[in-house]
């Protein structure tokens, strides 16, 4: 039971409730069940203005923009910060973690959807997210992949994401409490792996759990920029790696925190 006396939502969600496979990256209907804030932030127009800014900045993937127009970012931040939810800024979510800037989230997901498997199959079948945080990116990914597994090492954040995602009733999202550096072997291989924390190198476990034709998008420490996005594609011949723009994420850490 939570502090309000209501029964806590049950996560992970049952895998036999996953929506049927789809042939294209068509966004689902707008999420429902999010309580209004009283600040007008639940208006679709507020999210659409954010989307138009992202489009002007170069985000062009229709499915990414569509998902960001539907998922209410203010639902995933503290009430005191809700008025900043649709600004292009990162915000604290507690325990030394942040919800990333919308522009960075959109850019990383857009890169992820460039994987060979996504282009060939019309969608990402299975995605592994490293660092659930408050659950916002998992909610976005739920519109873009048939199944999303999201690993969080900080137990209070795992519980918070579970509570925040429950009203959205996303049957294709499964939250996992564990060490993200180990990935999530039980449901490998993955068409996409996306990380919200960066280390000096990608963990070998992520490479091993990536399907042929799959892609990893993650920040890594870089001598020139401090930290930059890396894209790794797994092919029949091995792995191909490309560096992209500078970013700033929290450090990638091993172990779990209770």
Contact criterion met (CB below 8 Å) for 183 and 209: yes
Q: Note if 27 is an active site residue.
A: no
134's CB contacts (< 8 A; 6+ apart) are 76, 77, 93, 99, 157, 160, 161, 164
Q: What pairing do the DSSP bridges indicate for beta strands 124-130 and 190-195?
A: parallel
CA atoms in the 13 A half-sphere facing the CB of 254:
7
Task: For residues 131 and 252, give the distance between their C-alpha atoms in angstroms, rounded to a whole number.
Answer: 9
Contacts of 79 (CB under 8 A, 6+ apart): 37
Contact by Cβ (8 Å): 209, 230: no
| Catalytic option among 100, 123, 126, 142 | 100
Alpha helical stretches, state H, the chain: 44-56, 62-70, 102-112, 116-121, 136-141, 155-165, 204-208
Question: What residues does 152 pair with on adjacent strands?
Answer: 177
Residues sharing a CB contact under 8 Å with residue 20, sequence separation 6 or more, in sequence order = none
Catalytic residues: 100
């Amino acid at each position: 039971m939570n502090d309000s006396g209501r029964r806590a939502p049950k996560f992970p969600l049952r895998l036999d409730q996953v929506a049927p496979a789809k042939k294209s990256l068509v966004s689902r209907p707008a999420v429902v069940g999010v309580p209004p804030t009283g600040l007008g932030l639940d208006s679709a127009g507020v999210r659409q203005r954010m989307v138009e800014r992202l489009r002007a900045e170069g985000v062009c993937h229709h499915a990414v923009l569509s998902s960001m127009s539907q998922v209410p970012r203010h639902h995933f931040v503290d009430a005191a910060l809700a008025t900043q939810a649709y600004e292009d800024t990162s915000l604290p979510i507690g325990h030394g973690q942040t919800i990333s800037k919308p522009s960075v989230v959109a850019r990383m997901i857009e890169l992820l959807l460039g994987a060979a498997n996504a282009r060939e199959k019309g969608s990402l079948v299975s995605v592994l997210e490293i660092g659930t945080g408050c659950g916002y990116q998992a909610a976005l990914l739920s519109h873009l992949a048939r199944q999303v597994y999201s690993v969080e090492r900080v137990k209070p954040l795992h519980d918070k994401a579970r509570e925040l995602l429950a009203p959205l009733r996303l049957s294709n999202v499964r939250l996992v409490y564990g060490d993200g550096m180990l990935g999530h072997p039980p449901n490998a291989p993955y068409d996409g792996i996306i990380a919200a924390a960066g280390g000096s190198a990608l963990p070998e476990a992520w490479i091993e759990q990536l399907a042929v034709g799959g892609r990893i998008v993650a920040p890594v420490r870089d001598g020139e920029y401090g930290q930059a996005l890396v894209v790794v594609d797994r092919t029949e011949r091995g792995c191909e790696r490309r560096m992209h723009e500078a970013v700033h994420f929290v450090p990638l850490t091993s172990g779990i925190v209770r």
